[in-house]
């Protein structure tokens, strides 16, 4: 088992996990797990892009201003952002080729997120575990769903 230091987060959060934080009534399990592992969590550049894209699509108003402050201040300050590195690009290309050979292509953003998790030896945390099933069949990707209560 690998030892993880404070410098290297262990959990890579998908956008659906980060989005849960801002909901008026967020899922208790997600909030609890983020509180438990806060310093051990990160997001990645594709997730950052998804959050910003969602923000920029909103009409102008108080809700957009609130979300912009949350994303650009709170999320950016509390979670390190892992980049799509050369190593992640190599892993991503390999994953896509393997999945294509099996006749199981996957969404590009999801496979990029998975590749970043694999390149950084991180556990991917998502609500959409089914999106990553095929990737798990051709890699060592570890996935957790913090919406489900774990023992």
Sign of the CA dihedral with 108 first, then 109, 113, and 114 last: negative
What is the pLDDT at residue 105? 83
Q: pLDDT tens for residues 79-136?
A: 999 999 999 999 999 999 999 999 998 889 999 999 999 999 999 999 999 999 999 9
Q: 10 with 39: CB under 8 angstroms? A: no
Of 125, 143, 136, 109, which is closest to residue 27 (Cα–Cα)? 125
What is the pLDDT at residue 139? 97
pTM: 0.90
Proportion of the chain above pLDDT 90, given as a percent: 83
What is the distance between the alpha carbons of residues 95 and 57, in angstroms, rounded to a whole number? 31
What is the distance between the alpha carbons of residues 118 and 90, in angstroms, rounded to a whole number? 11
Q: pLDDT tens for residues 8-66?
A: 789 999 999 999 998 889 999 999 999 999 899 999 999 999 999 999 999 999 889 99
What is the distance between the alpha carbons of residues 110 and 12, in angstroms, rounded to a whole number? 12
pLDDT at 2 over 60: no
């Amino acid at each position: 088992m690998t030892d993880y230091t404070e410098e290297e987060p262990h959990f890579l959060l998908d956008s659906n996990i980060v989005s849960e934080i801002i909901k008026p009534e967020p899922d208790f399990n997600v909030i609890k797990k983020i509180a438990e592992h806060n310093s051990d969590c990160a997001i990645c550049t594709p997730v950052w892009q998804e959050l910003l894209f969602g923000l920029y699509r909103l009409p102008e108003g108080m809700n957009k201003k609130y979300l912009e402050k949350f994303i650009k201040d709170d999320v950016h300050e509390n979670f390190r952002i892992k980049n799509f590195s050369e190593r992640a690009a190599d892993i991503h290309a390999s994953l896509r080729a393997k999945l294509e050979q099996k006749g199981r292509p996957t969404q590009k953003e999801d496979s990029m997120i998975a590749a970043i998790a694999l390149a950084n030896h991180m556990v991917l945390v998502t609500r959409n575990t089914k999106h990553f099933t095929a990737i798990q069949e051709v890699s060592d990707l570890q996935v957790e769903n913090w919406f489900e209560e774990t023992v």
